[in-house]
Chains A and B, each alone.
Chain A
Amino acid sequence: MEKSATLTTSSSTLENKPTSFFKKLLQQRMLVLMSVPFVIWLFIFKYVPIWGWTIAFQDYQPGVSFKDQEWVGFKHFKILFTDETFAEQFLRSVRNTLAMSGINLVLGFVSAIILALLLNEVKKVAFKRTVQTVSYLPHFISWVVAAGIIQTTLATDGVINELLKWTGVIDAGQEILFLGKANWFWGIFGASTVWKDIGWNTIVYLAAMSSIDPSQYEAAEMDGAGRLKRMWHITLPGIKPVIIVLLIMNIGYLMESGFEPQYLLGNPMNVDYSENIDIFVLKYGLQQFNFPLATAAGMFKTVVSFILLFAANNIAKRMGQDRLF
C-alpha cells in the first residue's frame, strides 16, 4: 500500500483507480499549466478569426458594434459569383488559383522525383552531397529575394535574353519582356517554384529510396537489368507509397497556390493571369476596404480547401495509408 501511494503520479497506477476527471486534472496541474495557456493563445489567434467570417454575412460598417451590424445573408457571395463588375474578376482569380496550383503540383512532383532518381544514381558521395546542398539553397531565401532574382534574370537586359541572342534565337532589339507577356505568367511561375523548391522536395523521396532493400538491386542486376530498368522497376515502385501519400495530401491544398510569388512578380501587364484568390482578397479587402466581399472570397477558399482536405484524408484512409493528420 505504501508503495502505491508514492507512485500515484505515474500513469500505470492511476488507470486502475477510479479517480474523477477533476482529481486527475488537479494531480496533473503542471501539465495543465504547461499547455493550457497555449490553448488560450490558440483560441485567440486561430479560432477568433473564424468568428470573423460573420462579416461576410453583414454589410459591415467599421466602428459599429456587432449587434448593430446589418445582416444581409448570402448577398456578398451572390455578388462574387454573379455581379457584373466583381464576378468576372473573382472567377478569373479562381481560375488562376486552380491553374497555378495544378501546375505547381504536377511540375513540383515530376521535377523532384526525377532529381531524386538522378541523385540516387550518383555513386560519388562528395558530388552527391554538393548537389544536394546547392539544390536546397533557394528554399532558404525569401520570395522577395527570389522575385528580385527572377526579375533580373528575365529583364530585357537579363541573362535569358542574352542567351537567346547569343544562340541566335532572337536578334538584338527583339528582347522579350517576359513578365509583360500575360499568358506566359503561369509558365514563369511554374519554373520559378520548381527552381526554388526542387531540391527541398527531394528530401522525402531520397529518404524513401534509402530504405529500399539493396538485395533487390543485386537480384535485378543478376537478371541483367540495366540501370534504367532498375530505376523503373525497383526505385520507382519503392517510393510509390510516399508519392501517393504526398499526392493525396497536395490535392487537399489545391486552393492554396501561394501568395508571395504572384504578388511580387505580378504587374499590370500580367494581372489577368497572375491575380489569384489571395490577391483578390488583399485588393478588395485592404486596399479598397470592401471587408465583407473580401471575407466572403476568403471564406469560399477556406471552405473548398476544407472539403478537399477531408476528401483527401478519406481517400488516404481507404487506400490503407495511415491517417494523414
Chain B
Amino acid sequence: MANLASASKPRKFSSRNSSLGDKIFDICIYTALTLLMIVTLYPFINTLAVSFNAAVDSMKGGIHLWPRQFSVENYKFVFAENTVYNAAMISVLRSVIGTFVTVFASAMVAYTISRPEYVLKKFVTIAFIITMYINGGLIPNFLLIRDLGLLDNFWVYILPGIIGVFNLIIIRSFIEQLPDSILESARIDGAGDFRTFVNIVLPLCTPVLATVALFSTVSQWNSWFDVFLYNSSNEHLSTLQYELQKILQNSNTTSSAESGFANSGAEAMKVSPLSIRATMTIVASVPMIVIYPFLQKYFVKGMTVGGVKG
C-alpha cells in the first residue's frame, strides 16, 4: 500500500519489484503526461479567467489562471445582444434537429443493408461507399444548394448532411454483431421490417447510436463554414461559431470599422474586444466540453470499431 502514495513524497528506491531505472522511467512518463495536460488545459483556463475578469482590468494583461477582478459583466453584455442570443438558439436548434434526423436515418438505412436477404443491399451499400471516394467539390455543391433554393434557409444545415458514410458503416457493423435469434423471433411474431427496426433494433443499438449522436451534435454545433457560405447574408440564421469567427476575423485585421457589436461595446467601456472574444469563446465551446466526458466509453468503442474495421 505504501507504494501507491509515491509521487508526492520522494522515497528511497527500495520498494519491491521496481528498480531505480523503473522509477526514473515512471517519473519521466508522469512528467510528460502532466505537461501535456497543462498545455491542453491552460488556454481554456486562461480564456475562462479573462471572460470572468472585469474588462478594463483585463487590458492591463497578466491574467493567467484566475480572474483578478471577478465580474460577470462580459456574460451579461454578450447575452444582452440579440445577435448572440439568436445565434445560440440556431446553434441549439441545428444540433438537436440535425442529430435526430441523422441518427434515425443512418440507423434505418444501416438496418436495411444489414439484412442479408435484401435484394438492394449491394446496390445501396455501394452507392453510399462511392461517395467516400468522389465528391463534387465546393463550387458544384454551392451551385446545387443555390439551385435547390436552400440559400438563406435553415434547412441547409440539416439536409446536405443527413447520412455520413462513416456513421452508416459503424451502425451496420454493430447491427451485424447482434444475435440473429433476436431478430428472427421478432419476425416469427409477425413484425414487419419497420417494426422490428423501431421496436427491437433501435433500443439494442443505444451504444452505437450514442456515438453517432455525439459525432453529429459536435459537428453541427461546431460548424461555421456552411453558415458563412450559404447564410451569411441572413443574420437570423447565424450561429455562435460564425459570430465568433466574425469577431476573430475583425480582431485579426487592422480595420475595425465594421466589427459589429464587439466595437459598440468598447465604446461603453464596460467591455472590451478582448473580453468579448474570451467570453464568446467560452460560450461557443463549453456545451461540447461538458457533454463529451459522459459519452467517453461510447465514442471510444465507436472509434475502435469504425476506425480499424471500416
Contacts and interface: CB of A to CB of B under 8 A. Distances in A.
Contacts of A50: 134-136, 140
Given A118-B29, A145-B284, A39 B127 contact: yes
A323 B43 CA distance: 41
A147 B134 contact: no
Given A35-B109, A281-B139, A285-B138, A264 B33 contact: no
Given A21-B119, A152-B43, A207-B304, A38 B135 contact: no
Interface string B210-251: 000000001001111100010000000000010011001000
A35 B120 contact: yes
Interface in A124-155: 124, 127, 130-138, 140-145, 147-149, 151-153
B137 A151 contact: no
Contacts of A42: 127-128, 131, 163
A142 B139 contact: no
Contacts of A152: 43, 46-47
23 contacts: A11-B115, A11-B116, A28-B119, A31-B112, A35-B108, A35-B118, A41-B162, A49-B143, A53-B136, A53-B140, A55-B140, A135-B37, A135-B40, A140-B218, A141-B222, A145-B241, A153-B43, A204-B307, A228-B25, A286-B138, A286-B229, A298-B138, A298-B139
Contact of B144 (A45, A199, A324): A45
Interface stretch (A90-98, A166-174, A299-307): A299-307
Given A122-B29, A140-B288, A35 B113 contact: yes
A2 B192 CA distance: 20
B141 A49 contact: yes
B36 A144 contact: no
A133 B293 contact: yes
B309 interface: yes
B155 to A, nearest CB: 12
Interface string A273-309: 0000010011001100001001100110110011001
Interface in A8-47: 9-11, 14-15, 21, 24-25, 28, 30-36, 38-39, 41-47
Interface of B: 4, 21-22, 25-26, 29-30, 32-33, 36-37, 39-44, 46-47, 61, 105, 108-109, 111-113, 115-120, 123-124, 127-129, 131-144, 148, 159-160, 162-163, 184, 187-188, 192-194, 197, 218, 221-225, 229, 241, 244-245, 248, 252-253, 277, 281, 284-285, 288-289, 291-293, 296, 299-300, 303-304, 307-310
Contacts of A46: 131, 135-136
A142 B136 contact: no
Nearest to B284: A145
A55 B139 contact: yes
A127 B108 CA distance: 40
Contacts of B44: 137, 149
A52 B143 contact: yes
A198 B35 CA distance: 14
Contact of A259 (B139, B225, B277): B225
B194 A30 contact: yes
Interface of A: 9-11, 14-15, 21, 24-25, 28, 30-36, 38-39, 41-53, 55, 115, 118-119, 121-122, 124, 127, 130-138, 140-145, 147-149, 151-153, 157, 159, 195, 198-200, 203-204, 207-208, 226-228, 242, 245-246, 249, 259-260, 264, 267, 278, 281-282, 285-286, 291, 294-295, 298-299, 301-302, 305-306, 309-310, 322-325
A324 B134 contact: no
B112 A148 contact: no
Contacts of B115: 11, 31
A35 B124 contact: yes
A264 B245 CA distance: 8
B40 A49 contact: no
A260 to B, nearest CB: 7
